[in-house]
Structure 1
Amino acid sequence: MAEKGSGNMENNSSGDAVPGRTEQILCQPCSRKDKQTVADVFCSICDEFQRLDCSNIHKTYAFMKNHKLVKAKDIKEKPVSFDMKGLDQCDEHQKVLKFFCEDENQLCCSTCAIVDHRKCHSVVEIQKIAARSASASSKLKASLQDIREKAETVVKYTKSPKEQLDQDVKEVSLKIRRMRDNVMKMFDDLERSVAKDTESFKRETLGKLTKKQSDNEKHIADVTKSLETIDNVHQHGTPSQQFILEQRMKKQVSERSSNVDKECQRLETVTISFDFDETLKLPPLSISDYIPGTLTLKYSVPEAVKPITSVDPIVKLTKVTSIDLKQTGNNVKEPLYSGLDFLPDGRLIAVDNKNKNCLIYNEKLKKVGSYQLSYHPQSVVVVSVEEVAITSGAGYKIDFLHISRSNELTLIRTCKVTTKYDSICMKDDRHFAVGTYDDTRHVRIVSLSGEEKDFSINFPKKKYPISTSACTYIRNSDKVVLTDRDEHTIYIYDIKSNTRVVVKDDQIKKPRGVAVGPPDPSDCILVCSKKTDSIVQISQTGRIISSYKLDTSHPYRVCVSNDKSIIAVTNKRKLQLFKVTY
């Protein structure tokens, strides 16, 4: 897709071809002045073909001295750029934004840089500084995700009062009708009077609530569109385009966040009630002279409303016990526990990739059972109280083992599969979510009977080598989490909206294993960060909550007990248990 607003190579069409005639590339500055002159050079920074006279501006201004000019005839085809849909154009001069003024924190085109910022001390080319903010788009997306979730909360909150209004109005009518049996005339008049007032109040209130709902649904739509734009630019745009988009959206995000926060602080409660007086004056008094009760019509904002925000408590870890993983007489190689999971009763299951073992540990990390496998296992997941499933990678199968209360392991069945599977977790009671390698479908769904299908996720067209990514699934929000070891990145895919949050942070380096952590119902994400020797806690919106430094290096896998009170972590040297507090 060609960059919007950028010049294109202008050639003679094939229909006009004449023997001996060569295709000519026109000077773009001259073309804008309705002049047809042949270009002599191409500037990759200005992204323009120019004749020599037009290109002499490079000798005039110091900030253009590093621009590289090459002969136009040596350019076979002008580079095609990602279409930013005008976001990379200067609002004032309609030129491509190529500079950034660090003094005034503004994006500039070449005209802005020359005319408006010539006295500034630090006007730099965007392509030279774009790489500084590699994690900016993920933080921007996290902010947008927070805005969307707050707006969704407001929409959900406004629907309840609307339903309650109808219920309250019906209750008032029923209350009045029960009294009408004794004083029919007065209560007929009373019902008409009250119904008129309540319906009027309801119409006015519904108008306000409907507008609030509509405004926040627009916030949701705008944020979803912005998230899609960021994803597209992150996947297809250049670092410069990513930087430009970040600068463009910062103000929008700030304004949207402020608006949604105000809405969250003004979640009105609406009530209608009717209370009868203890004594009633009977007709012939006119109903307008005396109403036998008090009609309450209330539309208010509570004074002490609590801010509705995503509260993610910090997970604190306290080490309970630890064992060293060493080569023993039964082991051919140094152990590598490539998969961990807890049984419901607290026993820990581990698979040793190097020595082809499945092992059982009690709550004190004493080995109480083992089973020799015929292949190198990749990962393990607990299916039920007495059953686990093990992935075999290139073995193209998933084995199911029975575990007795006396810690005996028995192979009960094998499911053949068509994909190389690594990490595995339960998607629901009948399906797994399984991470792949050497496949563009990074996470797939496999049933307990071995049937395979894909998530409705637009994964990037890349393949992960073995042990370079791991996945988990968050049930309560229908999200898939994927680690990318070589890109130092965590991807959080929302299945319902087919959007994703990209998490990059200095606290996450070479991420490996990942698990769904406590507490319910917010369910944070726990990631093993190899190069920082820590377990990093991330919210579902991509915010870094905390980082726990381990006393051992290069954590490999992490899992959480059923009651979410214990966390197990392993690397090549140790297996450790930690108690969870908040």
Structure 2
Amino acid sequence: MAEKGCGNMENNSSGDAVPGRIEQILCQPCSSKDKQTVADVFCSICDEFQCLDCSNIHKAYAFMKNHKLVNAIDIKAKPVSFDMKGLDQCDEHQKQLEFFCEDENQLCCSTCAIVDHRKCHSVVEIQKIAGRSASASSQLNASLQDIREKAETVIKYTKSSKEQLDQDVKEVSLKIRRMRDDVMKLFDDLEVSVAKDAESFKTETLNKLTRKQSNSEKHIADATKSLETIDNVHQKGTSSQQFILEQKMKKQVDELSSNVDKEYQRLETVTVSFDFDETLKLPPLSISDYIPGQLTLKYSVPEAVKPITPVDPIVKLTKITSIDLKKTGDDAEEPLYTGLDFLPDGRLVAVDNKKKKCLIYNEKLKKVGSFQLSYIPQSVVAVSVEEVAITSANKYQIDFLRVSKSNDISLIRTCKVKTKYESICMKDERHFVVGTIDDTRPVRIVSLSGEEKDFSINCPNKKYPIGTSACTYIRNSDKVVLTDRYEHTVYIYDIRTNTSVVVKDDQINEPVGVAVDPSDCLLVCSIKTHSIVQISQTGRVLSSYKLDMKNPRIVCVSKNKSIIAVTNNFKGEGKLQLFKVTY
């Protein structure tokens, strides 16, 4: 709500008042039209001083008839509220934020609290807890100050580097010109050749440095603007408004901090130099065949800047619930779940390889939906809010099923492919990453329409039978992960650099199922150690969590990154378990 002044006020009270003056408050609607009209009444609902003409609007509309009007003279001081510029409004319902869900760490309006958080245990009024986080504002200020200082350092070094770069390039030309006096025409050609390369490097690098400087100037502007907003809310806003702003800005500040840290870590001094070979000889060759020198392009990190070493957090798993997978009724075989994935709303989808079924479980692992398939399913992935894709162990196809909010399952379409696929995960909104069955290309890309293509990576040239390998994809770093069960190995391929990391460790014994955890590390099912092993993207084994199930085979992570599901393959002791993920 914007601040609204009370107009001109004259009084006859003590203090700084001028004797003889009478307090006058102007009508706010009239003031907005550049009219000077004395206010007669104050409406607490409209939060305005109004003259008699403007207040007559209350008689025209039924919904305003209950507004309470009081004599303007009786209102000594109108409460001043700070304009949050929409920050205190719910993004989804455009209503006032009045509650805070401590279970999910989320601000709520009255609709959110009733509809989306009715199952949560701790939804409290913001007014009651607003005073708890007195230090949060100072932490946000500190983070923003740090962001601004780092961005200013980036600008300082980029400006210096640009100046040095220009000076170095000029020095290259001067050195070549001095040498040209001795060898004449040969060095005329040399100057043209080397100066062209140097200028090309200068242009490319200047563009890079200019972009870096522009980004950092934007970071400074964003941080400064946020600091001003926090300062204004801290000075003028209520404790509830301060609390709301802090919650709203945490994500922005974290993202801004991450962006500045990336620029800060990549600070580098760019130099250009040219040096002649000590054993210079001048054979009768053209300058294009023999260049008596070398253009050196060098990047170096300034000593004043200490690179920030990223730390991979150690995952902690706390079991939430567990169910046994056993034969029921006239079943000839025990269930065998070979695929798991979470829908965005938290429901778990499983495929039963033995019974040829797609199953839906709620957050308490109660079975709420089932669909009979005509083929042997192998793996499953959630494609969207109400759509899943299933691979087949005996068919050249990928099926797309709709899973409704009421847990009804129906076949949408079947996509024919030329390769049999086992594991499957999303690469982006339009493509899958899939692990093959008995194919020399162990991991491939398949579009949602069935177009198949290969990665440009050097995978092992071997065929993997069913149950001996699985793959996943780390979207943020563009890396493909492949497990090799009987080689006790996990391969991590960097698509951007076409490099790979081979992970072998005593804690990894017959790895199969693999998923990406909330910190973009890997969670691998180690069958013979009955464990979930956490591995960093660089191949370092971070932790190993011993399960109370034998031979864990499949693992998946919920879309909100807070829950994982694990199932196994052990005759007579099949289990499906949920774990809470913390660090």
- The TM-score normalised by the length of structure 1 is 0.50
Instruction: Choose between structure 1 and 2 for higher RCO, CA contacts under 8 A separated by at least 6 residues.
Output: 1
